[in-house]
Amino acid sequence: MAQYSSANDDRESALQREYMAKAAQYVAGLERELGRRPCCCVVTFGCQMNARDSEKLLGILTEIGYESVEDEESADFIVYNTCTVRDNANQRVYGRLGYLHSLKAGKPHLRIALCGCMMQEENVIEKIRKSYRFVDLIFGTHNLFKFAELLVTMFENREMIVDIWQETDQIVEELPVRRKFPYKSGVNIMFGCNNFCSYCIVPYVRGRERSRAPEEILQEIERLVDDGVVEVMLLGQNVNSYGRNLETPMSFAQLLREVEQIDGLRRIRFMTSHPKDLSDELIDVMSRSDKICRHLHLPLQAGSDRILQAMNRRYTKAQYLALTEKLRTAMPDIALTTDLIVGFPGETAEDVDETIDVVRRVRFDNAFTFIYSKRTGTPAAAMANQVPAATVREGFDRLLKVVQDTARERAALLRGSTAEALVEEVNEQDAALLTGRLSNNMLVHFPGDRDLVGGFVNVSLDECHGFYYTGHMIRKAEAPLGKTVDGNG
């Protein structure tokens, strides 16, 4: 499937701006009724793509007159942008809906919207229609760009509005966005997934792969850099397969080369990468780049060939090990992180041992370790040999210990070195400290003034605390917009 045409994109963007103007009239009426500016709260569940979607939702809400707040109790409109990759994500939303019901009982004008991946599941919609009738608006992943239009429909109707699309070929990005951070931003380069791992619900809720045109991606990044962004995260369910469905195919490595050329952009990150599609070309581009961060998230999921085949991952343990060896040879300083699943149907203690063996041999810098979550509608959910909970927990605990031990050992290797950090925020626990992120994605906390946030500083990594460092700033480093900042040594 080719990318959706820019002409259609422009027409849809213009149409949605008309709906924004109309929605703004309803919000202005609410402001007169309340005697104050109405407030909105967007709560994000899930991945970086969901976080980016929430920035779009918030951009539209603030454009039409809402004031953004962090707490739901202060809000007059609450949006839950949901995740469904694991069942506990769904249960969290259901639990929170009970709380929203009580809020709405005391605030009748409160509006509640649900969107995101969870809303693409038919059984979820049925449950909400039956048990959560107080919800005002429900939409999914494919028609998020219609948010302004859906808001107008919501304002003009009393009954629950449900608008779920099963698929789309449209990509509409030219709409307001309110970024969480002024100095960094996610950038969608593609949507959907074609891999159909047997445990995963994502292809069913996000749809098939659709790549954005490279010129649109580059233009967006250029605008972001002009607005003060120094780091971008290129987002897709499997960025390594970017460009295959374009009218003129383009590899992800080729796109990265183009992004690198953008003046003023200091750092490039991306996720997520599927091991079966990580090319030698991409490794070469990464190894030669001064802007691509020395961090790669490369989900393994399991170390047993038998389980990998049942998962439909389409690589073997040996192939994964060879790939990580190739990455470390090309970039000795790269940080490798991964996802691991314990308890997939049919998994034995010996299979878990195979996963542990990979962790010990690769020596991941970190790993997100999950207990298998049965997702209705996936092939794995129908498999007969589900693993008993006690067995799963035993394997999970064994694996987690090895993950933590090897990650601590990897982190400790940096003690005493100096690294460049992007200062992200004032430390949440100690206002005298700043929190910075290294190229390898590790955090470091160090003394400094809040006006350094958004700039780059050189930091001595003095003490390793397992998964983060404490240190001190040591010399001048370049800040955004060509400024310099001084260290204390």
Q: Does the pLDDT of residue 4 top 80, yes or no?
A: no
* Residues 342-391: tens digit of each pLDDT: 999 999 999 999 999 999 999 999 999 999 999 888 999 999 999 999 99
Per-residue pLDDT averaged across 71-92, rounded?
A: 92
pLDDT tier for residue 3 given thresholds of 50, 70 and 90? very low
Q: Pick 286 or 47 by higher pLDDT.
A: 286
Residue-wise pLDDT tens digits, 202-253: 888 888 899 999 999 999 999 999 999 999 999 999 999 999 989 999 999 9
Which CATH topology does 6-163 take? Answer: Rossmann fold (3.40.50)
Tens-digit pLDDT profile for residues 6-39: 566 778 889 999 999 999 999 999 999 999 999 9
- State whether CATH 2.40.50.140 applies to domain 418-485: yes
Please write down the HEC assignment for all residues of the chain: CCCCCHHHHHHHHHHHHHHHHHHHHHHHHHHHHHCCCCEEEEEECCCHHHHHHHHHHHHHHHHCCCEECCCHHHCCEEEEEECCCCHHHHHHHHHHHHHHHHHHHHCCCCEEEEEEHHHHCHHHHHHHHHHCCCCCEEECCCCHHHHHHHHHHHHCCCCCEEECCCCCCCCCCCCCCCCCCCCEEEEECEECCCCCCCCCCHHHHHCCCEECCHHHHHHHHHHHHHCCCCEEEEECCCHHHCCCCCCCCCCHHHHHHHHHCCCCCCEEEEECCCHHHCCHHHHHHHHHCCCECCEEECCCECCCHHHHHHHCCCCCHHHHHHHHHHHHHHCCCCEEEEEEEECCCCCCHHHHHHHHHHHHHHCCCEEEEEECCCCCCCHHHHCCCCCCHHHHHHHHHHHHHHHHHHHHHHHHCCCCCEEEEEEEEECCCCCCEEEEEECCCCEEEEECCHHHCCCEEEEEEEEECCCEEEEEEEECEECHHHCEECCCC
Domain boundaries, the chain: 6-163, 181-292, 294-413, 418-485
The CATH code belonging to domain 294-413 is 3.30.750.200
More confident residue, 171 or 428: 428
What CATH class does 181-292 carry? alpha beta
Identical topology for domains 181-292 and 294-413:
yes
Residue range 461-475: mean pLDDT, rounded: 92
What pTM does this model have? 0.88
Residue 183: pLDDT above 70?
A: yes
